[in-house]
Structure 1
Amino acid sequence: MKKLLLLVAISMASCAPNKITVDLIVQDAHIYTINDTFSKASAFAVKDGKFVAVGTSDEINKKYTSLKTITAGGKTIIPGLIDAHCHFYGLGLNQQIVDLVGTKSYQEVLDRVQEFQSNNPVDFISGRGWDQNDWEVKEFPTKIGLDALFPNTPVALERVDGHAYLVNQKALDMAGITSKTNVSGGEIVKEKGQITGILVDNPMGMIDAVVPKPNRATQIQALKDAERISISYGLTTVNDAGLDRSTIELIDSLQQAGDLSIRVYAMVSNTPENLDYYLNKGIVKTDKLNVRSIKVYGDGALGSRGAALKEPYSDKPGHFGAMVTSVADIQNLVDRIVATDYQMNTHAIGDSANVVVLKAYAEALKGKGDRRWKIEHAQVIAPEDFDYFELGIIPSIQPTHATSDMYWAADRLGKERVKGAYAFKELLKRAGKVALGTDFPVEQVSPFLTFYAAVARMDTDNYPEGGFQMEDALSRREALKGMTIWAAYSNFEENEKGSIEVGKMADFVILNDDIMTVRKNSIPNLTAEQVFIDGIKVN
């Protein structure tokens, strides 16, 4: 009898299909796959850094086995989040300078600079994050306070948007800037013929030329700091909007050595040296790095009145802002880049800058196929210019700009013109896709604030009641796609990431709550409990 039972057991085992061994099984989860039908799943299997199966827990466990299984207990899982426009390297460097974000007065700026220099004495003081629009006195500060405190130490304090400096006299002297200096594409602000210390857009380059460059150890630490912060929020890919060749190559070397896990879509900064190298070299692509785009600045920022407008600023008669890159140079760049495989990604804030770039794109891209050129920000669009986005041009937008600017945007633009600003829904309707990012460190790093601003269009104090220009809010599904599959598409990477599907990179995030159903005012409190890149836990 025993012999018979043994034979039956052997026979049953031989008839049962052998399970496939994989590296990781995740089960009992609430998974938003973000596939074409936005379907849900409860489990998936990962092998060699890729999703090899997605389905129910029963389906996965019947076919696969693994020494490592995560039972998620019904937790929500989404694809790894993509920030379609940020300054990743800049975020890391900012960890080593004066943090001026959230200052409520110029005096608080001065106090923070003094404290920093007292604790971290340096030969050249740098800082970033002030915004005069958050102060009771909403005018640009002057260098008088800095000159009094630091007569012999150069100081350069960058505005939150990265489009203006406040510098002291020592820094001006080092840069050779006087009341007679003229630089196109920006402004050296003066009062009664005297330099105030405020430099907007292109003149900032003269200060950059004298700021000490970080050494390699500092650069590496900056990249690691930026990765740590980004991954903690569930970001697995970041689009850095403007990097030089040396930084791109450093990122690549760290990724290849296993010292940097995050994926980087590197937009090459528009300099002659960078363009000569990369446009001749062609696309650079690894599993972690993608170099196939050129970042160009069309104009400045709205907050510093550097954005180029068709009509004067409502709160500064006769002032139109300025093109940082001239119309002729934009056209030359378009002609040069369209002859290569590279994508052109152009910063355009004001309606004048947007139409200049859109017209140049539209003409150059005729008959050129699927090029996916982007407008970075697409912030203020005249009603007659939205049609250009129907030509395959992708709006790369940052929803938190709307909720940061909404307090004063109508002052800059007027009640009518502001209706064409931060028009996310209209842009989506015309383009079919929008790529969402933060523009950090201009804004906070959290992609959950991006999601909240896109769907609620309120600040974290629930202001304004009912939301800001809600006709242009995105749905939750649209916002999540903008942070995953549409962002991947904008990078030519939709076949390798952006959704939880078989064959794609196993980048995913386990959330503390359901991003699609949690109460709207709880969205900013979402957290990334666990983050995986290539199926490996990185946070």
Structure 2
Amino acid sequence: MRKLFLLAILAMLSSCEAPKEKVDRIVVNANIYTVDSNFSSMESFAVQDGKFVAVGTSEEIQKKYTSEQIIDADGRTIVPGLIDAHCHFFGLGMNQQVVDLVGTKSYEEVLERVKTFQETNNRDFIQGRGWDQNDWDIKQFPTKKKLDELFPDTPVALERVDGHAYLVNQKALDVAQIDKNTRIQGGEIVKEQGMITGVLVDAPMVMIDAIIPEPSKKVQIQALKDAQRICFDNGLTTVNDAGLHRSTIELIDSLQQAGELSIRVYAMVSNTKENLDYYLNKGIIKTDKLNVRSVKVYGDGALGSRGAALRKDYSDKPGHFGAMVTPVSKIDSLAQRIARSDYQMNTHAIGDSANIVVLRAYKKALEGKQDRRWKVEHAQVISEQDFGYFENGIIPSVQPTHATSDMYWAEDRLGEERIKGAYAFKELLNKAGKVALGTDFPVEQVSPFLTFYASVARKDLENYPDGGFQMKDALSREETLKGMTIWAAYSNFEENEKGSIEVGKMADFVILSDDIMVVPENEIPNLKAEQVYIGGKIAE
């Protein structure tokens, strides 16, 4: 009788247990790096209405919640949705519509790819991107002679991998009305023996841009969808596009609103009069998928094309200092104007001269203003005495693979002393407290795992150099993951909605093929994003 009584009591108590709360999705048995303030590890979480509603052990979550969608991660590693803090998302998509020149090992290979492309596509204006003379045996700029022979009647514009130089043929020069007497400030029309070679660095490129046919809306939509597919394949859930025009931003917004584009975009508005007049007056534009609150400004050019502005001349080109794309006085006035708005100023600065110009302009414009989070994009070569500027709330937005791409020739450009302040990610972190990490794709590859590897190992995929490149400025794995998640979100004013796996935040997460925090260093580049979720739904 007593046993029957106890059983009845237990049955009654169990029937009184609170019913489990039904949610959209539950993940259990995972190795979760939450990237919260304690960098906690957890096993499970629940998702409802696109947000994390609980994070804990598998037992805790399953005791309180139920769902028709339960993922047993079987011990696999999960990290917050990865953020690329500096890239060219739309540019990546548009690159899928032109000749792919990335990875070419000679000018002859460039020409072969252009010929093959044109035979298939028969374009009225041939475009390509991705060549880099530093990867060739002959590490000199090419000339237009062979392009002129192959395409005497069709304009050709081939963009260097960093986006800071064109190689064009004579037909393109004629249409753009560029000749040996053309003068334009902020770049170079490269000449040999007084004759134009076909290489245009920085500012003169706008004259070619003016004659390139505008892509149709259909092509632009396809470009955005192609870029999204590539980003999802690599585990990215948010991309910071460093320089977009109003028409492209509005196209992205319309596709997101229609459910045809689901990746989240932090859009930096390109620095044009039309864009600034519109956006600075309109104010911040924010949806769940789109954030428009910053202006992208170009300080100088790139180191690879010797367009970066240096305080002293290039070690491998005496008398050449590079050039400011935006004049010093204009940088200063832009900073003042943007500081009067709610917008962030994000300025491309590669050379030590460009960096100090930008840092001084920021300091002056932000006097007395709090929490503006202005960024220096790249912050690539810094004079030792200038690192202190980053202690004033300025955020360095850097790209680790630039270090491992440039390390073969960067010291040739900069010399033994100046190279010590280049690609100095750890020093920047020590001063700023945070670094936002990106790739600058399509200048570099899209993979965030290559970013992670370059950040912690400072080596190329051939394990070069032995011991790593300038390892004093390598980041730890924890610092690197933060730079690709919570610190990147912070740099976008989005740390309260993404960047970590915490209650109330958007359920953006990635299931990885291995544990990124412990896998052997040389295996990091082989990691894969097995599943990518945005707002708790599989990204597609």
TM range (shorter): over 0.9
- 3-state secondary structure, aligned to 1:156: strand
Q: How much has 1:288 moved relative to structure 2? A: 0.2
Alignment of 1:382-397 (within 5 A): 382-397=383-398
Q: Deviations over 1:142-199 (max 9, x none)?
A: 0001000000000000000000000000000000001000010000011111100000
Shift of residue 286, structure 1, vs aligned partner: 0.2
- Cα RMSD, aligned residues only: 1.3
Per the alignment, residue 49 of structure 1 pairs with: 50
Aligned to 1:490: 491
Q: What is the one-letter code of the residue matched to 2:111? A: L
The answer for the alignment partner of 2:503 in structure 1 is 502
- d(CA) in 1 for partners of 2:164 and 2:92? 16
- Can you list the C-alpha shifts for 1:27-71, whole angstroms capped at 9, x where unaligned? 000000000000000000000000000000000011111111000
The CA deviation at 1:363 is 1.2
Q: Distance in 1 between matches of 2:90 and 2:11?
A: 60
Q: Which residue of 1 aligns with 2:151?
A: 150
Give the Å deviation of 1:521: 0.3
Which residue of 2 is the match for residue 232 of structure 1?
233
Give the Cα–Cα distance (whole angstroms) in 2 for the partners of residues 360 and 494 of structure 1: 26
Map of 2:207 onto structure 1: 206
Q: Which residue of 2 aligns with 1:285?
A: 286
Aligned equivalents of 1:434, 1:13: Cα separation in 2: 51
Q: State the match for 2:358 in structure 1.
A: 357
Counterpart of 2:436 in structure 1 is: 435
Equivalent residues in 2 for 1:104-115, closer than 5 Å: 104-115=105-116
Aligned equivalent of 1:72: 73
- Are residue 62 (structure 1) and residue 56 (structure 2) matched? no
Q: Report the CA distance between 1:8 and its aligned residue.
A: 5.3
Deviation sequence 1:108-132 (CA, Å, 0-9, x none): 1111100110111100000000000
Unpaired runs of 5+ residues, structure 1, are none
Q: Distance in 2 between matches of 1:4 and 1:417?
A: 84
Matches within 5 A, 1:72-91: 72-91=73-92
Output the CA distance in 2 between the equivalents of 1:222 and 1:149: 28
What is the rounded CA distance, in whole Å, between the counterparts of 2:210 and 2:471 in structure 1?
A: 43
SS of residue in 2 equivalent to 1:407: coil
SS at match of 1:304: coil
Where in structure 2 are the equivalents of 1:308-347 lying within 5 Å? 308-347=309-348
SS of 2:530 mapped into structure 1: strand
1:28 aligns with 2:29: yes
- The aligned amino acid for 1:324 is V
Q: Following TM superposition, by how much is the alpha carbon of 1:11 offset from its aligned partner in structure 2, in angstroms?
A: 2.0
* Separation in structure 2 between the aligned mates of residue 531 and residue 8 of structure 1, nearest angstrom: 46
Which amino acid is 1:524 matched to?
P
1:17 shift after superposition:
1.6
Amino acid at match of 1:334: A
Matched residue, 2:17: 16
Does the residue aligned with 1:346 lie in a helix, a strand or coil?
A: strand
Structure 2 distance, partners of 1:275, 1:180, is 32
The AA in structure 1 aligned to 2:237 is T
Distance 2:277 2:378 in 1: 26
Question: Percent identical across equivalent pairs?
Answer: 75
Quote the offset at 1:15 in angstroms: 1.8
- 1:421: which partner in 2? 422
* Partner Cα separation in structure 2 for residue 440 and residue 102 of structure 1: 14
Q: Deviations over 1:264-315 (max 9, x none)?
A: 0000000000000000000000000000000000000000000000000000
- Offset at 1:10? 5.9
| 1:500 partner letter | I
- Structure 2 distance, partners of 1:467, 1:204, is 36
Question: CA shift at 1:12, angstroms?
Answer: 2.9
Q: For residue 452 of structure 2, what is the aligned residue in structure 1?
A: 451
Tell me the number of residue pairs that the alignment of Structure 1 and Structure 2 aligns: 539
Where do residues 111-150 of structure 1 align in structure 2 (5 Å cutoff)? Answer: 111-150=112-151
Distance in 2 of aligned mates of 1:467 and 1:279: 44
Amino acid of the structure 2 residue aligned with 1:299? D
Q: TM-score, normalised by structure 2?
A: 0.99
* In 2, Cα distance between equivalents of 1:260 and 1:11: 51
- State the alpha-carbon separation in 1 of the partners of residues 261 and 62 from structure 2: 33
1:364 Cα deviation after fit: 1.2
- For residues 92 and 539 of structure 2, the distance between their equivalents in structure 1, rounded to whole angstroms, comes to 19
* 1-structure distance, mates of 2:481, 2:7: 54
- Tell me how far apart the structure 2 counterparts of residues 10 and 525 of structure 1 sit (CA, whole Å): 53
Supply the distance in 1 between the matched residues of 2:121 and 2:470 (Cα, whole angstroms).
Answer: 44
Q: Which amino acid aligns with 1:169?
A: Q
Whole-angstrom CA distance in 1 between matches of 2:333 and 2:145:
41
Q: Provide the secondary structure at the position in 2 that maps to 1:509.
A: strand
Corresponding residue number in structure 1 for 2:399: 398
Aligned to 1:260: 261
Distance 1:384 1:12 in 2: 70
CA deviation after TM superposition for structure 1 residue 13, in Å: 3.8
Distance in 2 between the 1:477 and 1:7 partners? 53
Cα shift at 1:9:
7.1
**Counterpart in the other structure of 1:183:** 184
Question: Which whole-Å CA distance do the structure 2 matches of 1:61 and 1:99 have between them?
Answer: 49
In the other structure, the counterpart of 1:479 is: 480
Compute the displacement of 1:7 (Å): 6.3
Per-residue deviation at 1:322?
0.1
Give 1:327's aligned amino acid: V
Measured after TM superposition, the shift of residue 101 of structure 1 is 0.6
CA distance in 1, matches of 2:81, 2:208: 38
**Alpha-carbon distance in 1 for matches of 2:478, 2:258:** 37
**What do the CA deviations read for 1:396-419 (whole angstroms, capped 9, x no partner)?**
000000000000000000011001
| Per-residue Cα deviation, 1:226-279 (whole angstroms, up to 9, x for no partner) | 000001111000000000000000000000111001000000000000000000
Distance in 1, matches of 2:9 and 2:252, equals 59
- Per-residue deviation at 1:18? 1.4
* Corresponding residue of 2:535: 534
The alignment's TM-score, normalised by the length of structure 1, stands at 0.99
The 2-side partners of 1:259 and 1:423 are apart by 40
The code of the aligned residue for 2:460 comes to D
Alpha-carbon offset, residue 366 of structure 1: 1.5
Residue 407 of structure 1 aligns with an amino acid whose one-letter code is Y
Amino acid aligned to 1:161: D
- 1:482-527 per-residue CA deviation (whole Å, 9 max, x = no partner) reads 0000000000000000000000000000000000000000000000
1:218 has 2:219 as partner: yes
User: 1:38 maps to what in 2?
Assistant: 39
In 2, the alpha carbon distance for the partners of 1:268 and 1:445 equals 21
C-alpha separation in 2, matches of 1:522 and 1:14 = 51
* 1:14 Cα deviation from its structure 2 partner: 3.2
Gaps of 5+ in 2: none
Give the distance between the partners of 1:7 and 1:414, measured in 2 at CA.
Answer: 84
- Partner residue in 1 for 2:194: 193
- Once residues 468 and 432 of structure 1 are traced to their aligned partners in structure 2, the CA distance between those partners, rounded to angstroms, is 22
Which secondary structure does the structure 2 equivalent of 1:258 belong to? coil
How big is the shift at 1:538?
A: 1.3
Distance between the aligned counterparts of 1:272 and 1:173, measured in 2?
A: 28
- Structure 2 counterpart of 1:348, one-letter code: A
Measure, in 1, the Cα distance between the counterparts of 2:6 and 2:98: 75
Secondary structure of 1:112's counterpart equals: helix
